[in-house]
């Protein structure tokens, strides 16, 4: 249970996945902007990031949350609400990517639960408690688009959504990747984007958007890589970032995330690219009927699952 107390006049930003990669870079980029609520599964790493923020003159509180465990997500949401902070921003950044199939302790698809169901549930818990005009940002991925050439070359075949129930059990549409874990990732990120679009229409008092962070290799998202491969990809990315538009770094993504999260007059229902400019996703993510179906099916599924 968090131990910080503050008056409701203090601005607060809830940041998930803040201990590595773009999440950590965003937290360090926002140290002077308000109280940072750091939400992640590793208490020791949260404590380390909190200490870094405080060393830079910021204020932070840690909330332990395992996004693959819906009961943990629900508890974390309640803990955040109990802080009685003036929440003006929520970054749904936590996520995993693994080409292989992994399961939660309940036998569910780990990627779909961690990347979509967990953030969806946390957002629904927090929505009534966000200040008017607050910014909510979901991190998506262009891998959801079957027409995205770079993603296809990397082995992705776009989102393969059949239903929320089938996604929970790791069942994807035909014509997918040779590695089901890649279908799980693309589908979960597609669900994040359409959730942002549908939530934006449902909550006109808020600004709810999605962002493509760009390709960032050898970050915490790629923990399945061995050490030599992480080092190699890190070096390659640093060399190629100035020349390849879709490549990014945690610091570059952090600047984009921060700008969107702190924009008090920006639009809602926008999908941004890695540079912070509006972009077009796949045909499906632009389809309002599909957006509403994913949200309705996700809500119905969550009512049946223990939270």
Residue 147 and residue 134: Cα distance in Å, rounded? 33
The rounded Cα 186 to chain-centroid distance in angstroms is: 13
Predicted confidence (pLDDT) per residue in 154-195, tens digit:
899 999 999 999 999 999 999 999 999 999 999 999 999 999
- What would the 3-class secondary structure string for 123-165 be? HHHHHHHEEEEEEEEEECCHHHCCCCHHHHHCCCCCCCCCCHH
Query: What are the residues whose beta carbons fall under 8 Å from the beta carbon of 148, sequence distance 6 or more?
Result: 142, 156, 158, 282
The per-residue pLDDT for range 256-301, each reduced to its tens digit, is 999 999 999 999 999 999 999 999 999 999 999 999 999 999 999 9
- Domains identified in the chain and CATH numbers: 11-216+250-304 (3.40.50.720)
Is residue 15 within 8 Å of residue 37, measured between CB atoms?
yes
Fill in the DSSP letter of residue 176: -
DSSP annotation string for 272-297: E-TTS-B----TTTT-HHHHHHHHHH
pLDDT tens digits, 103-146: 999 999 999 999 999 999 999 999 999 999 999 999 999 999 99
pLDDT of the residue at 215: 83
Q: Please give the Cα distance from 143 to 3 (Å, whole number).
A: 39
Say yes or no to pLDDT of 239 above 60: no
Q: What length does the chain have?
A: 307
Contacts 24+ apart (CB under 8 A), 52-55: 52/28, 53/27, 53/28
Which pLDDT belongs to residue 186?
A: 98
What letter would DSSP give residue 220? G
CA atoms 13, 192, 254, 277: torsion sign: negative
Distance CA 289, CA 241 (A): 37
Mean pLDDT of the chain: 90
pLDDT score at 228: 53
User: 189 by DSSP, 3-state: which?
Assistant: helix
Let me know: does 218 contact 237? Beta carbons within 8 Å.
yes
Q: Which residues contact 260 (CB under 8 A, 6 or more apart)?
A: 135, 137, 209, 211, 266, 272, 276
Cα 43-298-141 angle, rounded to 5 deg = 65
Beta-sheet strand order (sheet of 130-139): 59-64, 35-40, 11-16, 86-92, 130-139, 207-211, 271-272
246 has a pLDDT exceeding 70? no
pLDDT above 90 coverage of the chain, percent: 84
Q: Say which residue the tokens 């994040």 belong to.
A: 192
- Whether the CB-CB separation of 253 and 95 falls below 8 Å is answered with no
Per-residue confidence (pLDDT) for residue 9, from 0 to 100: 56
Tell me, letter by letter, the H, E, C secondary structure of 40-104. Answer: ECCHHHHHHHHHHHHHCCCEEEEEECCCCCHHHHHHHHHHHHHCCCEEEEEEECCCCCCCCCCEC
């Amino acid at each position: 249970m968090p131990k910080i107390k503050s008056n409701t006049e203090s601005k607060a930003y809830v940041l998930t996945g803040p201990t590595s990669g773009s999440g950590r870079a965003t937290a360090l980029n926002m140290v002077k902007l308000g109280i940072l609520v750091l939400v992640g599964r590793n208490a020791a790493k949260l404590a380390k990031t909190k200490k870094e923020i405080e060393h830079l003159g910021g204020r932070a509180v840690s909330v332990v949350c395992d996004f693959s465990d819906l009961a943990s997500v629900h508890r974390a949401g309640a803990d955040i609400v109990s802080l009685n902070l003036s929440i003006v921003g929520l970054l749904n950044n936590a996520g995993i990517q693994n080409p292989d199939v992994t399961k939660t302790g309940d036998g569910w698809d780990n990627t779909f639960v961690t990347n979509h169901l967990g953030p969806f549930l946390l957002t629904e818990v927090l929505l009534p408690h966000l200040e008017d005009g607050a910014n909510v940002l979901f991190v998506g991925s262009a891998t959801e688009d079957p027409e995205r050439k770079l993603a296809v070359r990397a082995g992705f075949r776009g989102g393969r959504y059949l239903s929320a129930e089938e996604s929970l059990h790791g069942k994807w549409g035909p014509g997918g990747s040779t590695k089901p874990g890649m279908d799980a990732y693309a589908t979960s990120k597609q669900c994040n984007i359409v959730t942002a679009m549908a939530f934006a229409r449902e909550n006109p008092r808020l600004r709810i958007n999605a962002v493509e962070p760009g390709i960032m290799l050898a970050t915490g998202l790629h923990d399945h890589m061995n050490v030599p491969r992480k080092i190699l990809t890190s070096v390659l990315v640093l060399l190629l970032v100035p020349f390849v538009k879709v490549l990014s770094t945690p610091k570059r993504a952090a600047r984009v995330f921060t700008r969107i999260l702190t924009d008090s007059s920006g639009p809602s229902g926008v999908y941004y690219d890695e540079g912070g400019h509006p972009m077009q996703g796949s045909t499906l993510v632009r389809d309002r009927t599909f957006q509403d179906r994913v949200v309705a099916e996700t809500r119905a599924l969550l009512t049946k699952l223990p939270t």
